[in-house]
Structure 1
C-alpha cells in the first residue's frame, strides 16, 4: 500500500507540474491577478493557433490589412497577461527577426526597408494596463502587389514578466488593399453559354439570371486592379471555370473598367456595353465574354460593396 501511495503521489505531482507549465502559455494564473514575475508578455495580434508545450520550427502568422495609401500606420500590439494589468510600468523592447519569415514560407518576401519605418521599437505598458502598441509606418501605395510581403517581429526583452514562448515571435503579413477590395453582393446579372457562335446552349442548367448568387470577393492585385473571385453559373452551385485569375482594372480618371483573365486571353469587355464603377454607390457593372469564336460565354454582373474582406 505504501508503494502504491508513493506512486499515486508522484503521478499527482507530475500532473500538477504539467498543468502549471501549460497554463503559462494559456494565460491562466492563480496569483493576485497582477501576474507578477509569472505573467506573460506576448504579441497580441497573433491568433491562438499554437499548442502550448508542443515544439515547432514554424512561427505564428497573422495578416495586417490596410489601405494602399501613401503611408499607413500599422499597429503591432504587445500584451501583458496579468488579470489586473501590469503591477508597474513594463518596458518592452521589440526587434526585427526576419529569419522567421524565411523559415515560415518561401512564398513570402521580407518587406524591404524602403517600404517602411519603425519610429520606436521600445514600448511601455503603463501600470495597471495590459497593452502597448508599436507603430510600423508602411508605404503601401509603393507595394509590388504581386508579392506577399511580411515582417518577422520579436519581443527582445521585457522589464517585467516572461516573454511568451509561443507568441513572443510572429510573422506579420503586410497586406495592402486598394479602394475596390472587398466583399460584393451579386445584385443582378445574366450568364449565357453557347455551344457555337450564335447557338445558345439548350437545354442548359447553367444559363440564367445571377441575382442572389454567393457573394463575390474582389481581391487587390495592383494599385487599380482586383481579382474577381467566386463567380458562379446560374443557380450558384457551380463555379465558373476556364477564366482563372479574372481581373478588373479601374481607370481612376473615368471609372471605366477593363476586364481580362490571366487564365484565358480571350476574355474581354463586350463592345458597346457598360463596364464601369460607380463610386457613389460602390457598385460595379461588368459586361464581358470569352471564347468568342468557339463556344462563347457572356457574363453580365452588377456587384455592390457590402463590406471588407477579413
Structure 2
C-alpha cells in the first residue's frame, strides 16, 4: 500500500513538472531539474520510525525503499549507497533531545547497503532483519530501556544523482513489543463544528514506542497524523499528538485502558475555525 502511494505521488509529481508550459513567463520549466536520491518513507511519515519486535527465534524482516526524485525516471541504472552512521544518530539526538544508542551489530542484519534503481523506474528496496529471541535478548526490559536505534544514511548515488539533504536519513527505533501492541478496531465519531458528525469505523495498528506507550493513527486523519497513547499505572491514558496531528489537542472526557477487554476509550478535541473538533473513539484489540 505504501509503495503504491509513493508511486502515485511520484508519478503525479513527474507529470506536474513536465507539463509546465515552456514558453509562458508565468510558468517555470522544471525539465532541467536534477535527480535526487531520498528515502520516501522519511518524507511521508517522518525520519523516525518505531519498529516493535516480538520475542521469537525467527528474525523480524523489515524493508524500506530508496527513491530517485526527478521530473522523469532515470534513463540509466542508479546505484544508491547507504551506511549505518553514528554521526547521524548523534546529530538526531541533539536536534530532538533524544538519547538513542546505536543498535549492537549482533542484533540486526542488512542484506546489502547498496540499492540499484533500474532505468525507467524510481524505487529500490533495502532489506533488514532484526533479532529479538531470548538467545539474543535475554532481558527485554533492559533492551527497551537501552533505547536502541539504527541510523541509516544515504551516502552517495551514481550518475550525478544528488543526495537529499532533508530525507536522506532514517532512524529506526527498536523496541520489544509491549502488551498493548497489535491490530485493533476503532469505532466512534468525529464531530466537526461546521461539517457535522462522521463515523469512525476502521482498523488501526498500535505499535510499541516503549513499555507503556503505543503509537497509532490520530482519529481518522490519515497515516501522517499520529498519536502516542501511554497507559498509566491506574490504567488512565495520556494522549500525545504526533506527526501532523494538531499539537494543541486536549483530553475531553475519560481516556482509559480496560485490561479485561483490551480496549482504549479516548475522548479528545482540538480547536479550529468555527469551533472545536471533538473525537470520541473506542479502540479494541481484534
State the distance in 2 between where 1:218 and 1:159 align. Answer: 36
Deviation at 1:133, TM superposition (A): 1.0
Answer yes or no: is the 8 Å Cα contact 1:42–1:163 preserved in 2.
yes
**1: CA distance between counterparts of 2:88 and 2:173?**
12
Distance 1:36 1:176 in 2: 47
In 1: Cα distance, 2:283 partner to 2:90 partner: 38
Conserved 8 A contact 2:82-2:114: yes
The structure where strand makes up a greater share of residues is 2
- Which of 37, 47, 51 does residue 65 from structure 1 map onto? 51
Decide which of 102, 110, 114 is 2:106's aligned counterpart: 114
Give me the whole-angstrom Cα distance separating, in 2, the residues matched to 1:83 and 1:175: 38
- Find the counterpart in structure 2 of residue 168 from structure 1: 168
Corresponding residue for 2:274? none
- The C-alpha deviation readout for 1:4-31, integer Å capped at 9, x for no partner, is xxxxxxxxxxxxxxxxxxxxxx998559
Q: Which runs of 5+ in 1 are unaligned?
A: 1-25, 50-59, 188-214, 241-245, 249-274, 277-282, 286-301
The CA distance in 2 between the partners of 1:131 and 1:34, in whole Å, is 21
- Can you list the C-alpha shifts for 1:98-154, whole angstroms capped at 9, x where unaligned? 212122224212111111011211111111111111112111343512232212211
TM-score of the superposition, structure 2-length normalised?
A: 0.51
**Does structure 2 retain, via aligned residues, the 8 Å contact 1:101–1:110?**
yes
Give SS of 1:80's match. Answer: strand
Larger radius of gyration: 1
Structure 1 stretches of at least 4 aligned residues deviating more than 4 Å after TM superposition: 26-37, 182-187, 217-222
SS of equivalent residue, structure 2 residue 89: helix
State the SS of the aligned residue for 1:104: helix
Partner in structure 1 of residue 146 of structure 2: 147
1:231 paired with 2:236, answer yes
Normalised TM-score (structure 1): 0.47
Instruction: State the superposition RMSD in angstroms.
Output: 4.5
Change (3 A) 1:149 1:94: same
Q: Is the 8 A contact 1:47 1:62 kept in 2?
A: no
Aligned residues: 187
